[in-house]
Amino acid sequence: MSKFSQRKKTRRQFLVDTSKGACGVGFMGLGLAGYSNQSQSFNPQMLRPPGALVEADFQSACVRCGLCVEACPYDILKLGRLFQPIATGTPFFLARTNPCEMCEDIPCVFACPTGALDPTLDNIDDARMGLAVLIDQENCLNFQGLRCDVCYRVCPVIDKAITLEMHRNTRTGHHAVFIPTVHSDACTGCGKCEESCVLEETAIKVLPRNIAKGELGAHYRWGWKEKEKAGHSLLTEPVLDLPDRVPEVLK
Amino acid sequence: MKTSHTLGEEAIAKKGWLLANRFLLLRRLSQLSILSFFLLGPLAGIWILKGNLSSSSLFDVIPFTDPFILMQSLTSGHVAIFQAFLGAGIVLLFYIVVGGRVFCSWVCPVNLITDAAAWCRRKLKLRKEKVLSTQWRYWILLMVMILPLFTGVMTWELVNPVSAFHRGLFFGMGTGWVLFLMIFLFDLLAVENGWCGHLCPMGAFYAVVNKIGFIKVDAKNREKCTDCLDCFNVCPEPAILKGPVHGQKKGIGTLVNDMNCTNCGRCIDVCAEDVFVITTVLNGKNSLAKVEIIK
C-alpha cells in the first residue's frame, strides 16, 4: 500500500495541481490574447509583401520562416523582430526606404510554403500591397502649382495608377495645377511614389487598403452610371418641381 | 562516494575523454552544423537550407515545416497549402523515428543557452530546489493550441523564444536578445532546467510526439550501477531515470520510456560502468515487460 500511495496522487492533490496549472496558464493566456489583439493594428506603414492575405488571415497563415525574405532579390523584405511594432517574425517592407521592385516572376510569393502569400497571384500588376494616398495636400508641390510630378514619373504603372489631373490654379488665377491622382483599381502599393517624394516628410504615403479605401453603402447607386447602363433616364415621370430657394441677400 | 567527486570523472578515467563526451560532442556538432547550413546562405551564398526552423527548404527541393507551428496555424483558422503539410509530415516522420525530443537536444538552438546555464549551475554548485512543476509545459501547450481559436492569430508565435531565437540569428535579433538573456538567467538562478524542462510548450509538443518515438535509451546493465548519481546530475529530466535505473525491486523495466527523454545521450557519456545503451523500441520491448505490474 505504501508503494502505491507514493506513486499515486490523491484526489485532493490532483485537484490542487490542476487548478494551479489552469490558473497560472489562464493569467498568461489573458495577457497573450490582449497582446495578439494589438498585434493586428500595429504600424500601418509596415507593408506586407505581394499577394499577402488580409492582416488577420495573414497572421494565422504566416509561419514566419523568412523564405520570402531570402527569395527577394533586392533585399527589401525584413522580418519583424521581437518588440518591433509588428507581429513578431512576419515579413514587411517600408516604402519610404525600400519600396517593392515588382519582379515579374514574384519570387517571394513562389517561396511561401503556406499560402500566406497567395500562390494564385501570377501577375505582379494585380498585387495590392497597399494603396498610395496623397495624404498631405498642403505640402505637396504639385498642389501648389509647381511641376514636381516625381511620384507620377516613377510609378511603374504610370498613367494608370497615378494620373495628373489638370485643374485651375485658384491661387494665381491664370495657371493650371496638375494634381497627382491615385487610382485604386491599378495601384499595386509598391511604394515607389512614397520613396521618391522630394519632401522631407513624404506627402504621398502607401497605406493598407482597409485604411485607405472608403466603401459605399450596399444600397447606394450613382445616378449617372445607372442612367448610362439603362441607356435612358430611370425617371419616367417629370421630377417633382420644388420651389427654388432665393438667397437671403437678394430678398 | 568521495565528496570532491566531479561529474563524469570516473567515466573519463575509465573510457577516455573522447568516449566520455562523445554524445555531447555529436550533439554540438549537430546543433552547429544545422545552424551553419542555414547561415551559409546569407553569409557565403551557399544555399543548403533556406528559411528557418519554422519552415525551410533543403536545396530548394525538400520542404520542412514545424508541425507545432502548423498546428497553431490550423487552430487559428488557416488551412495552409499542400507544401506545408508535406513539410510537416516529413518532419513528424523524422521525429517519430529518432524520438520527438531529439528536436530539443540535437536541433533547438535554445538548448545551447539552457545547457550553458545548467553547466554554470553545476560549476557554481547551486542547490537544486523543486519550485516549479514539470507539468507546467503541458498546460502551456494546451493554452498555445486553444488561444488561436479565440484570437484568430498564432498568439504564441508573437513571443515564442525558440522560433524567435533561431530566426533572430539569420534575420536580425533586434532587442530580442534580452529575452534570451532572461531565459539564461532564469535557468541559472531561478529554476534548474527551468525553460526546457518546465515551461517550453514546443518541447512539450515534441514530448507528445515522443510517445511513439522509436529510438530510446535503455539502462540495460543497471545491475552494474554504483549509485554515483552522475546520470541524475547530468540529465535534463532526472525524474525519468528513477524507474529504469533504480526500479528493479519494483519490477520497473530498464527502458527509459518516459516521453520527456530528449535522447541527448549524456547519461551514456558520464556513466563509467556503461549502464546505458541506445536501443530501439523493438529491442527494448523485453526491458519494458514488467512495467504493467506497478500500475
Give tens-digit pLDDT for B182-222. Answer: 888 888 888 888 888 888 999 999 999 888 888 888 888 88
Task: Indicate the SS3 state at residue B55.
Answer: strand
Determine contact: A16 vs chain B, CB below 8 A.
Answer: no
Q: Which of B172, B189, B208 is the last residue of a domain?
A: B208
Cβ separation A21–B168 shorter than 8 A: no
Decide if A117 touches B, using CB distance below 8 A.
Answer: no
B81, B65 Cβ separation under 8 angstroms: no
Round to the nearest angstrom and report the end-to-end CA distance of chain A: 108
Closest CA to B260 of B87, B137, B107: B137
Claim to verify: residue B250 and residue B177 sit in the same structural domain: no
Alpha helices (H) along B211-280? 230-234, 242-246, 266-270
Q: Establish if B31 belongs to a structural domain.
A: no
Same domain, yes or no, for B199 and B88?
yes
Domain that holds residue B254: 9-16+214-294
Q: What cell does A125 get?
A: 500588376
Do B136 and B219 lie in a common domain? no
Total length of chain A: 251
Residues B56 and B172 in one domain: yes
Across the A:B interface, residue pairs with CB atoms under 8 Å apart total 166
Residue B274 within any structural domain of the chain: yes
C-alpha cell at B282: 523493438
Residue type, B52: N
- Closest partner residue to A113 among B84, B150, B154, by Cβ? B84
Instruction: Report DSSP state, residue A84.
Output: S
Note which residues in 38-77 of chain A have CB less than 8 A from chain B: 39-40, 56-57, 59-61, 63-67, 69-70
Per CB-CB distance under 8 Å, the chain A contacts of B160 are: 88
Residues of A in contact with B143 (CB under 8 A): 25-26, 28-29, 32
- For residue A5, what pLDDT is reported? 42
Record: contact B83-A114, CB cut-off 8 A: yes
Domain check: are B235 and B189 in the same one?
A: no
Q: Is the pLDDT of residue A164 over 70?
A: yes
Burial class (CB in 10 A: 0-12, 13-18, 19+), B44: exposed
Query: What is the mean pLDDT of the segment spanning A205-234?
Result: 88
Spatial separation of the C-alpha atoms in residues A221 and B96, rounded to whole Å: 61
B45 close contact with A: CB closer than 8 A: no
Number of domains in chain B: 2
pLDDT tens digit sequence for B18-44: 888 888 899 999 999 988 888 887 788
Distance CA B222, CA B224 (A): 5
Inter-chain CB proximity B167 and A66 less than 8 Å: yes
Q: Taking CA atoms, what residue in B is nearest to A29?
A: B143
Residue A1 has pLDDT above 60, yes or no: no
**Mean pLDDT for each 10-residue chunk of chain B (295 residues)?**
63 80 90 88 81 82 87 84 85 88 90 89 77 82 87 84 85 82 86 86 90 83 82 84 79 80 87 83 61 44
Chain B neighbors of A26, CB-CB under 8 A? 143
Predicted confidence at residue B288, as pLDDT, reads 57
Same domain, B61 and B196: yes
Is residue B111 in some structural domain?
yes
Residue A188 pLDDT: 93
Interchain proximity B78–A61, CB inside 8 Å:
yes
pLDDT of residue A166: 92
pTM: 0.79
Strand partners, A158: A162
Does a structural domain hold residue B22? no
- Pair B222, B152 in one domain: no
Last residue of a domain, one of B152, B187, B208: B208
pLDDT on residue B286:
58
Chain A residues close to B294, C-beta within 8 Å = 7
Q: Do A113 and B42 touch (CB under 8 A)?
A: no
Predicted confidence at residue B294, as pLDDT, reads: 43
Same domain, B138 and B123: yes
CB neighbours (10 Å) of residue B168?
Answer: 23
Q: How many CA atoms lie within 13 A of A63 on its CB side?
A: 33
Interface of B with A in 63-122 (CB under 8 A): 63, 65-66, 69-70, 73, 76-78, 80-81, 83-84, 87
Task: Check whether residue B279 and residue B197 sit in a common domain.
Answer: no
What element of type H or E holds B64? strand B62-65
- Highest mean pLDDT among A44-48, A72-76, A239-243 belongs to A72-76
In this structure, are B142 and B259 located in the same domain? no
Q: Are residues B221 and B180 in the same domain?
A: no
For residues B142 and B271, membership in a common domain is answered with: no
- Last-in-domain residue among B147, B174, B208: B208
Extended beta strands in chain A, E state: 46-47, 78-79, 91-94, 131-134, 162-169, 175-182, 204-207
Residue B95 lies in a domain: yes
Q: Mean pLDDT throughout A89-117?
A: 91
Q: Which of A25, A84, A90 to mutate to test the interface with B (most CBs of B within 10 A)?
A: A25
Q: Which of residues 189-248 of B touch A (CB under 8 A)?
A: none
Read out DSSP for B86-112? Answer: HHHHHHHHHHHHH-TTHIIIII-THHH
What stretches of A8-99 show up as alpha helix (H) in DSSP? 11-38, 55-61, 67-71
pLDDT tier at A196, thresholds 50, 70, 90: very high
Q: Which residue of A has its CA nearest to B41?
A: A70
Residue type, A17: D
Phi, psi (degrees; rounded to nearest 5) at B238: -55, -25
